[in-house]
């Protein structure tokens, strides 16, 4: 958002987000940065939804099916021994990497960080 457009509906969204944060006793500039940071995080993940939907339409494979189809390629790469972290991770069989898991993980860490900011500003 290097040159945000002054669009009333977008401004109304940010205004509402800032109002929700009003009870925290934070400066309006801090609330603006919090609201825009959250919006940018959501936007950053959302830009991947359309290409993913297009890839699914073009290939006829869901994201999970496509990942499954790549197992032999991944096995060949891991067999080189050059990627011990990936090898250890995939050896557990519990790897779930999707836009949803990435979004949820990142949002949790972002909110944790904002909670620290709020706690610091309140003390």
pTM for this model (two decimals): 0.78
Q: Would you tell me how many other CB atoms lie within 10 Å of the CB of residue 18?
A: 19
Report the alpha-carbon distance of residue 100 to residue 6 in Å, rounded: 30
**What is the rounded average pLDDT of the residues 78-102?**
90
Tell me the residue length of the chain.
123
Report the alpha-carbon distance of residue 24 to residue 65 in Å, rounded: 45
Alpha carbon 63 to chain centroid, angstroms = 17
Domain boundaries, the chain: 1-47+98-123
* Structural contact between residues 30 and 24, judged by C-beta atoms closer than 8 angstroms: no
The pLDDT, as a whole number, for residue 35 is: 94
pLDDT digits (tens, 9 = 90+) for 24-59: 989 999 999 999 999 999 999 999 999 999 999 999
């Amino acid at each position: 958002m290097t040159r945000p457009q002054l669009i009333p509906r977008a401004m109304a969204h940010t205004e509402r987000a800032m109002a929700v944060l009003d009870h925290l006793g934070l400066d309006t500039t801090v609330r603006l940065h919090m609201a825009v940071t959250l919006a940018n995080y959501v936007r950053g993940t959302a830009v991947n939804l359309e290409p993913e939907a297009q890839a699914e339409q073009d290939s006829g494979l869901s994201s999970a099916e496509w990942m499954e189809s790549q197992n032999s390629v991944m096995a060949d790469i891991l067999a080189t021994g050059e990627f011990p972290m990936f090898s250890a991770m995939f050896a557990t069989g519990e790897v779930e990497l999707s836009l949803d898991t990435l979004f949820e993980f990142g949002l949790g860490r972002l909110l944790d960080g904002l909670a620290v900011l709020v706690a610091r500003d309140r003390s």
